Amino acid sequence: MRYWQRIIAVGFGGFFGGALREAIELWLAGPFPWGTIVINLLGTFISAFLVVLFARKLNLKQTTADFIMVGILGAFTTFSTAVLDMVKLGQIWPALLYFSITLIGGVMVVFLARWLAKRTVA
């Protein structure tokens, strides 16, 4: 496979993931960064779910997998935005709440997604 095909696939996926991210951020805009939390937890869930599906059921071309996982989901979720949102909160307790929701929620959605994906392909 040619590298440029994978790069183009990631670029197109990144466009869609970034646009979807911005739409959700605008929709959930407010004083607390719920948009980033929802985006990162949803993206984590989808990633974990798809990893199981790809491993057990779907046999995708590398460019298709790159389009989805690296392009769409890579642009959709981002750790740096989460950290920046924590700093912007400016107070320790809201920042710790945000961190806790993100970290604990992330682990929980991975377990949930894997469980659901395994049931789906069983």
Q: What is the 3-state secondary structure (H, E, C) of 65-99?
A: HHHHHHHHHHHHCCHHHHHHHHHHHCCHHHHHHHH
What is the rounded distance in angstroms from the CA atom of residue 48 to the CA atom of residue 114? Answer: 6
Q: Does 77 belong to an annotated binding site?
A: yes
Q: Is 68 exposed, middle or buried (0-12, 13-18, 19+ CB in 10 A)?
A: buried
> Who's near 8: CB < 8 A, 6+ residues apart?
none
Give the residue numbers of the binding site: 74, 77
Give the residue numbers of the binding site for Na(+): 74, 77
